[in-house]
Amino acid sequence: MACLFTACSETFLEENPTTFVTPNSLLVDQKGADTYLIGAYDAVQNIIGSGANGVDAWAIHWGTVAADEVVLPPWAGDRKLIYMHQLTPTNNTVRNIWENLFVALNRVNSTVDRIGAMTAEQIDIESRDRMVAEAKFLRSTINFALVSTWENIPLIKNETTSLNELEVAQSSPEEVYAFIIEDLTFAEAALEEEQGGGRATKGAAQALLGKVYLQMTGFPLNQSDKFASAEEKLAQVMESGVYDLLSSYPEVFDLDNEQSVEMVFSIGMDGPGKNEGGLLSTFYGPNGNVNNGGGWGTCFINHGFEASYDRDDVRLLNNIAKHNANDWTPEEAMTNPDARTVGQNTWRAWKWHADKPNSYPNDTPFDNPYIRYADVLLMYAEALNGQGKLTQGDIDMTVNRLRDRARLNPDALPAMVLGTQDENATALINERRHELCLEGWRRNDLIRFGKYQEAISGITQGGPNAGDPITEFQDFEMRWPIPNSEIRINPNLIQNPGY
Amino acid sequence: MKSKSVVNWKFKNLLLTFLGITSFSAVQAQTVNITGTVSESAGPLIGASILVKGPNDDMLNGTITDIDGEYTLTAEATDILVFSYIGYATQEVAVEGRTVIDVTMQEDASKLEEVVVIGYSTAKRKDLTGSIVSLKSDELDKVKPVSFEQGLAARASGVQVVSTEGGPGAGFKIRIRGGSSINASNDPLYVIDGFAINGTPQGTSVGIGNSTTSPLASMDPSTIESIEVLKDASATAIYGSRGANGVIIITTKSGKKGRADLNFDTYTSVSTLARKIDLLNAQEFVDWRNEYSPWNPDNTDDEFISAYRDQFGNNVDLNNPRVILTDWQEEITRPAKTQNYKMSMTGGSDNNSYAGSFSYITQEGIIKSTKFDRLTGNLRLDQNVTEKLKAGVNVNVGFTTTGGVVSAASENANGRSGIVTNSVLFSPAQGLTRYGDAEYDEDGRILSLRSGDISNPNRILQDNINRGKSFQSFGNVYLQYEIANGFTFKSSLRANIFQSKGQAYYSEKFGWGRSTNGRAFTNNSQGTGFTSEQNLNYRKSFGEHRFGLTAVYEQQTGNFENIIGASTGFDLPGINLDNLQSATVTLPSRSNFTDFSLRSYLARVQYDFTDRYTVNFSARYDGSSRFADGKKWGFFPSAGIAWKVYNEDFLKDNETISNLKLRASFGVTGNTAIGSYRSLASAALASTIFQGNNISTGVAIDRLANEDLTWETTSQVDVGFSLGLFDGRVSFEADYYVKNTTDLLLEVPLPSTSGFKTAFKNLGSLRNSGFEFALSTINIQKNKFSWTSDFNISFNKNKVTDLGNAEEFFIRAIGDNQITDDYIVRVGEPLGSIFGIEVEGVYSYDDFTAFEGLSNAQAAEKIYADAEAQGIPYYDVVYALKDGTVVSAGQPDASRYRPGMPKFVDQNNDGIVNSDDRTIIGNVVPEHFGGLTNNFSYGNFDLSALFSWSYGNDIYNKNIKQATAQAIPYFNKYGLVRDRWTPENTDTDVPVIWGDGDAGIAGNAYSTYVEDGSFLRLSNITFGYTLPKGILSEAGIKTVRFYAAADNLYVWTNYSGYDPDVSVGNNQLTPGLDVDSYPRARTFRIGLSVGF
């Protein structure tokens, strides 16, 4: 009050906010570093997987919406255009995903740089390196999403600390992949061998390395020598003994098994009402009231996908809803054929089965699987097949373990039998679709196997007015356009060809 | 144009009456004693002077009126008495042998001697070099507005007052000469008895509401003595740092010397829904519904097909007792009562004065359960301690409560719509079947539809809660010491303390609240502000030179904090907000604290030579905490010049021109209104989940530091003139201005590869320019009858001239959550540009090869035949477009079109309409707006009428999206859907059923949501009667006035929503938005004022 009358101290115009911290004040000890690392996990929490209410996320849009598992209704907004391959550089969802991935990248970069710069007086060096390794794993998930989706992206290796010189140029996909491998190799070395409960571990880094190497064998790099590198890493995951399959497929997606031994890396979500929720049971979910366990009708099942299942594959029952949630509990829907009354045109995708009743509209508690052990097994088989050395024994300990688990009666779903390399590849990608559908990897898989265009052809089902995504499809649409808004303010960016 | 003809007509009238009153007669000379009373409309005038003018225009003797306004003097019967009083027109009355002469003084229309508050000082109107509008209490008192903004609306040129959502207690957007900023505030600075606050409406909502309230909502406008609106830079630069958007100075009433007044005011009003939105009625809804779900005798189990049909497929008879019919607009509204009471007391002696008042208003909203109550009290004391030392205190407190339900919601889907959207969309006829995803109450009535998306409006009114309380006080003490004659020092300390609490509950029974078994929100906020001002003032005349000097040191600090809580899971019926511990889930609280400080040095010099030439310089040096180190200080100079031509010799005795003044000014003002801490880097809380459900709280980088962040500056040139004719009976004021804002505090898009989407930078510029005209006339002034008019009109043009590295950026308005961008800020275009897809009607039979050569009747026949053959509704049959016909990205396959689908404009001519074809589809800036007031008085009767208008502005009626969505069978629609395309009804622009759903380009606004918002409104008519004095004086009563008034009596407009005066939400970049706005009321009042 005294300052009101006189021009007393020079601090009168200083700002000392108490509503937020600065990284400098936080990163002085291990506790602060822990806190800052959690910020990096939060950065990828919503954007990499299926997203959350109001957040357009990468995997759900790139991996599922733009592939052949679901069809989109007319009220789907920008998502419909993604599904229809009617993308232009002004598409808002594409813009949001680009922007959100780079915002997340900077946050993770900040964690890598700032924790990495801490000294031995501030923090135990081994702990520091483990934290940096976790952050580098998270950084790889972002860079992998970016390079998969846009191919030609700026490779940003450090936190942005100044408003100057923000007009970065693109790097080649080779450089981006090399950086991802460098990060994951660092992470693999510094992390523990364990199921991380949502944290990055050695197994997660190795599994992602395997996935990245495999992706490098396909479009656009086509480096077939990477099959061997993938095999090596995936074998290490399998040999670690940390991970295993659960005995029942539906249980994998239960709330009780969110961080089970099958989850090599699964992104933590919780809800409702904690600002930590996802939307796995509502974006995908049966007809009926959301609070009875229904979904929002955001997307519907592709009839061709449904038809590709063996009738007695438990994954058909688990992954496709033919009931109305108002009338049946999830358990009844899984077991009682009378529950499957809904017309073909309104079959819905369904993998995470919300209770009846429940209280989570767009705020669902289901963790978002990123790499499951089932995926590791399938990738391992793929890596072997890519090198032409897949054996029936390998198939039996990978693909056929999954089929054994999925079989509802002994006569159903025959085991996979070794065929030609091409036949094996076809069987493997179909198995991936049946096993991993809605987990966001379908488009990457199709591109890697060179089957993308084939897969999105001929989806002309009427319900509800799905439309045929192939109508105007051209090869360049394999990649997404770089958002116009971005090119406009950064003259150094070059639009992907065709757009 | 209407307004023009009014003026012409008025001028004619004026000339006639002018000629009529300039006659006089001579009477024989004889000395008489004359007594009488001099009064003005509010009562006797004390200290009015009366001079006796002899036959040769020589002044003989004089006197002044006493405490009762009475006088006595002697004069010859042939003399003329000259009555004068500052601020009132001088009157000359011939004695004509009378001994009692009572005079009622009229306010001086030329107002040249009127004292105007100009910020840190006062000036006479004649000495102003800038553009200032002044409204006095009598203008406000006559109309008795509930809020100060309503009193200001349409009365001041250059000042645009637009309602936000329009409910009781809702805020307003005030723009003085257009918006001068993009991301920093465009709201004027309010200065209440010297205390400066930003005029930004306060967000008052909790939960999903998006309403705002005025920062002055707790003020009773009848406590205001005067409102001065400072528009040009020579007037506003003295408030340098915050003057860029204009300054509104509010002075509250103080006591008058030598007179004690006690006044009691009351009124009662009834408001009714002024107009209803045109919706499908029950029968029309049933017709639409059954067209949507064609009869299929094989599928009678289908709840859609059988909902509104009997077992034979006939449309249900609406008299069927099983059909529940409801007109929801009728259902949710009511005639709403308002009662207002005010008691005030003023008085004073030679050495002190006092003014105190207490008022109470209780206002019902026309939507049931909505209300606004306000209690205010204020007290002002001034005391001459010694001859040189004066002191005073002034306290103003207000307490408001609001209640009801959410009207304007921040989102219009997922069960989070406001009451109005619910009442529009809820079906007017409840059908015969039960829907699977609806909820029903115990009586079988629909509680909510479509998984809780829309809820029964009656139940919302009954079970949801949205209420608020706020307390606001201003206090001010000063000491003033006269150092020497004309040289004073004044030290003031002012404080502002406010507190508010908002609470909302969304019922556990339906809609949004049901999913969590009830949701409760509470928001407590409070703030304080302190200002100290040390003011040196010097006024002196030396012969023909007059000086005024003001030098001020001022400091201001302020802070604001709030805490928001939310709880869900309420199991005890009827127990929620007042017992939060009954919630099963308490969500984390959020709190916030910000503060700011401002230090200023300022000075002003006024100089006048021979009362002909006036110059005015001011300078202010401001330091604000909100900017980066080393960039905190800004300098804001101004200069103004005026030439009082009427005092030049060649005009001095001109009988026509009584006032002619030319003015010019230039100055620089600033804007700091961006919130605190924006130059600093910050990190935000960022939490995640481990081990399935363990929440861990972390921190992540959130904002880049901007070490260069500094003042946004606006430079303004203003030229204008004031003209008075016929002794002030006509006064005219005109101004032209250009305002350039540079170094905009712009939230510029960054390349997001930086990890930041935007940053606050000083980049870009914006320009406002315009004309303002104000005309006041005394058309007729006779002893018993007078008629005066005030007219003002403003033209403002706004243009974004530079956005730094960007050409444009987009803004998403609240409301429907599917539309991603609906406003654009683009270089070369004005702010408030609506952005989207241009619709050019619907596809017609001519666009298809299949219908070639067919008449319309044959084409319709073909559609029905094809539908039957394919076993689908007629609106699902698709055909191929002719080659080269434009298609939409929503349906790129040209072979899957049908007539009646919406057709869009292919702006880039590439054959397909997609988001690249978005364009500006409307602009909310009016070409002109203004007001016209006419005041009549006849004897003891008075009548006033206020018209206001806005012309050439668009409204973005975002309600249309959901209310015309023909893909959703549950919801009722706007009446325009009546005219939808059908195979028979082809001459229409309204799409066929499912037309927008199938061919629409989702995520965009369409030009069909943009409507012309021009209107002319009869805003207020007030008719009053004042009892003759004779009756009252014996009872010791000074005045009694009865009045009857009507507000918002009629609006001429083509707008289809509730009211074109609308701008929902508090995002200044989405003006002119109508989402879920509150229905507007027409109000009838009767009132009584008694003065003792």
CB B619 within 8 A of CB B667: no
For residue A9, what pLDDT band results from cuts at 50, 70 and 90?
A: low
Flag the least confident range among A362-371, B202-211, B950-959: B202-211
**A213 Cα to chain B: minimum distance (Å):** 25
Residue of A nearest to B512 (CA): A361
B553 reaches A (C-beta below 8 A):
yes
Residue A2 reports pLDDT greater than 60: no
Q: Which residue has the higher pLDDT, B665 or B253?
A: B665
Query: Min CA distance, B802 vs chain A (Å)?
Result: 14
DSSP helix/strand/coil, A148: helix
Contact B683 A161 (CB under 8 A): no
Q: Answer whether residue B143 shows pLDDT above 50.
A: yes
Partners of residue A458 in chain B, C-beta under 8 Å? none
> Is the separation of the CB atoms in B1008 and B903 below 8 Å?
no
A2 at interface of B, judged by CB pairs closer than 8 A? no
Q: What is the DSSP string of B147-173?
A: SHHHHHTTTSTTEEEEESS-STT--EE
Which chain B residues are within 8 Å of A20, Cβ to Cβ? 677, 682-684, 702
Contacts of B756 in chain A (CB under 8 A): 103, 106, 160
What percentage of chain B has pLDDT greater than the value 70?
96
In this prediction, residue B1 carries a pLDDT of: 37
Sheet bearing B446-449, strands edge to edge: B439-440, B446-449, B454-455
The SS3 of residue A24 is helix
A335 Cβ partners below 8 Å, 6+ apart?
Answer: none
Mean pLDDT of chain B: 89
Chain A hits for B676, Cβ within 8 Å: 15, 17
How many angstroms from the chain centroid is the CA of residue A224? 24
Say yes or no for a CB contact (<8 Å) between B683 and A276.
no
Is the pLDDT confidence value at B14 over 60? no
pLDDT for the residue B58: 72
**Beta-strand pair B103-104/B31-40:** parallel
Question: Is residue B119 scored above 90 in pLDDT?
Answer: no
Residue type, B629: D
Strand partners, B467: B503
**Alpha-carbon distance B825 to A413, whole Å?**
59
Report the residue of chain B nearest A269, measured CA to CA: B689
Residue A157: half-sphere exposure toward Cβ, Cα within 13 Å: 9
Sequence letter at residue B662: L
Specify the pLDDT at position B18: 38
* Sign, CA torsion B884/B885/B890/B895: negative
Worst-scoring range by mean pLDDT, A7-16, A229-238, B756-765?
A7-16
B54 CB burial (10 A radius; 0-12, 13-18, 19+) = middle
How open is the CA angle B955-B757-A106, to the nearest 5 degrees?
A: 160
Half-sphere exposure of residue B629: CA atoms within 13 angstroms, side-chain side: 8
pLDDT classification of A1: cutoffs 50, 70, 90: very low
**Lowest-pLDDT choice from A415-419, B404-408, B424-428, B567-571:** B404-408
Q: Does residue B797 surpass a pLDDT of 50?
A: yes
Whether residue A448 is predicted with pLDDT greater than 60 in this model: the reply is yes
958-977 of B, contacting A, C-beta below 8 A: 967
Average pLDDT, integer, range A270-296:
89
Q: What is the signed CA dihedral for B956, B960, B962, B966, rounded to 10 degrees?
A: -140
Which of A36, A65, A83, A103 is the best substitution to test chain B (most B C-beta atoms within 10 A)? A103
pLDDT band at B22 (very low <50, low <70, confident <90, very high): very low
Is the CB of A88 less than 8 angstroms away from the CB of B915?
A: yes
To which residue do tokens 């936000």 refer? Answer: B164
The pairing of strands B49-53 and B80-85 is: antiparallel
Q: B680–A17: do the CB atoms touch at under 8 Å?
A: yes
Cβ of residue B434 closer than 8 Å to a chain A Cβ: no
Q: How far is A100 from chain B (nearest CA, A)?
A: 8
The whole-angstrom separation of Cα B378 and Cα B359 is: 9
With beta carbons less than 8 A apart as the criterion, state whether B408 and B1077 touch: yes
Q: What integer pLDDT is reported at residue B434 of this predicted model? A: 87
Here the tokens at position B656 are: 């026509």
Which residue of chain A is at minimal alpha-carbon distance from B684? A20
C-beta separation of B5 from B12 below 8 A: no
Q: Does B893 touch chain A (CB under 8 A)?
A: yes
Q: Give pLDDT tens digits for B581-611.
A: 999 988 888 899 999 999 999 999 999 999 9
Question: Residues 305 to 324 of A: which have CB under 8 A from any B CB?
Answer: 324
CB–CB of B916 and A88 under 8 A? Answer: yes
Nearest Cα neighbor of B316 from B432, B425, B426, B428 is B432
Interchain CB contact of B889 with A (< 8 Å):
yes
- The rounded mean pLDDT for chain A is 93
Rounded mean pLDDT, B33-40: 86
8 Å CB contact of A159 and B701 = yes
Greater model confidence, B1011 or B306: B1011
For residues A166 and B259, the model is more confident at A166
- Cβ separation of A160 and B821 shorter than 8 Å? no
B1017 min Cα distance to partner chain A (Å) = 39
| Residues paired with B944 in a beta bridge | B935, B1022
Chain segment B44-68, per-residue pLDDT in tens: 787 788 888 877 767 678 888 887 7
Residue A75 forms contact with B (CB below 8 Å): yes
Q: Residue B10's pLDDT is what?
A: 45
| Collapsed DSSP state (helix, strand, coil) of residue B608 | strand
pLDDT at residue B105 in the model = 82
Residues on chain A touching B439 (C-beta within 8 angstroms): 289
pLDDT in tens, A191-244: 999 999 999 999 999 999 999 999 999 999 999 999 999 999 999 999 999 999
B584 contact A CB<8A: no
pLDDT at A4 over 70: no
Of B599, B690, B691, the CB nearest to A12: B599
Q: How close B339 gets to chain A, by Cα (Å)?
A: 41
Looking at the partner chain, which of B686, B750, B1002 has a beta carbon nearest the beta carbon of A80? B1002
Confidence band of B42 (pLDDT split at 50, 70, 90):
low
Which residues in chain B have their CB less than 8 angstroms from residue A7's CB? Answer: 553, 555, 599
Identify the burial level of B83 via C-beta atoms within 10 angstroms of its C-beta, where 0-12 means exposed, 13-18 middle and 19 or more buried.
Answer: buried
Cα separation, A439 vs A33, in Å, equals: 31
Q: Which two tokens stand for residue B1008?
A: 């069909």
B208 to chain A, closest Cα gap in Å: 15
Residues 438-467 of A with CB under 8 A from B: 465, 467
DSSP lists the bridge partners of residue B635 as: B621
Q: Which residue from A minimizes the CA distance to B890? A: A81
When CB atoms are compared, the residue of A273, A361, A489 closest to B587 is A273
pLDDT of residue A6: 47
Q: How far is A345 from chain B (nearest CA, A)?
A: 14
| pLDDT bracket for residue B110 (50, 70, 90) | low
Strand partners for B565: B522
Q: Which of A50-54, B538-542, B757-761 has the lowest mean pLDDT?
A: A50-54
Nearest CA-CA partner of A456 in A436, A427, A479, A478:
A478
Q: Cα(B807)–Cα(B800) distance, rounded to whole angstroms?
A: 10
Residues B429 and B418: beta-carbon distance below 8 Å:
no
Q: Omega of the bond prior to B168 within 30 degrees of 0, cis?
A: no
A343-357, A465-479, B360-374: segment of lowest average pLDDT: A465-479
Which residues of chain A does B997 touch, with a Cβ-Cβ cutoff of 8 Å? 74-75, 465
What is the value of ipTM here, to two decimals? 0.94
Q: What is the mean pLDDT of residues B515-541?
A: 92
Residues of chain B with pLDDT > 90: what percent? 59
pLDDT value of position A194: 95
Residue B39: per-residue pLDDT: 82
DSSP-derived pairing of the beta strands B80-85 and B88-94: antiparallel
Selected for mutation to probe chain A from B596, B752, B888, B916 (highest A CB count within 10 Å) is: B752
Residue pair B155/B135 in contact (Cβ under 8 Å)? The answer is yes
Helix (H) or strand (E) holding B1088: strand B1081-1091
Give the total residue count for chain A: 499
Q: What confidence tens digit (pLDDT) does each residue in B324-371 have? A: 999 999 999 999 999 999 999 998 888 899 999 999 999 999 999 999
Which residues in chain A are closer than 8 Å to B699, comparing Cβ atoms?
21, 23, 26, 35-36, 38-39
pLDDT score at B1039: 86
CA gap B757, B759 in Å, rounded: 7
- pLDDT confidence of residue B303: 83
Nearest CA in chain B to A359: B515
- pLDDT tens figures, B393-410: 999 999 999 998 888 887
The CA angle B976-B977-B978, to the nearest 5 degrees, is: 85
pLDDT digits (tens, 9 = 90+) for B870-918: 988 999 999 999 999 999 988 888 988 999 999 999 999 999 998 889 9
Q: Are B436 and A287 an interchain contact pair (Cβ–Cβ within 8 Å)?
A: yes
Query: Lowest-confidence range among A137-141, A204-208, A487-491?
Result: A487-491
Residue B732: pLDDT band (50, 70, 90) is: very high
Residues 45-64 of A with CB under 8 A from B: 45
Query: Which percentage of chain A shows pLDDT scores above 70?
Result: 97
Summarize the confidence of residues B693-720 as an average pLDDT.
93
pLDDT for the residue B1059: 95
Cα–Cα distance measured from residue A91 to residue B1002, given in angstroms and rounded to the nearest whole number: 11
Q: How confident is the model at residue B239 (pLDDT cuts 50, 70, 90)?
A: confident
Under a CB-based contact definition with an 8 Å cutoff, are residues B710 and B742 in contact? no
Q: How many CB pairs under 8 A join A and B?
A: 288
- Residue from A8, A38, A159, A468 to probe the interface with B (highest B Cβ count within 10 Å): A38
Q: What is the pLDDT of residue B917?
A: 94
DSSP run (H or E) holding B487: strand B487-506
CA distance B966 to chain A (A): 11
Q: Which of B683, B702, B752 sits opposite A102 (nearest CB)?
A: B752
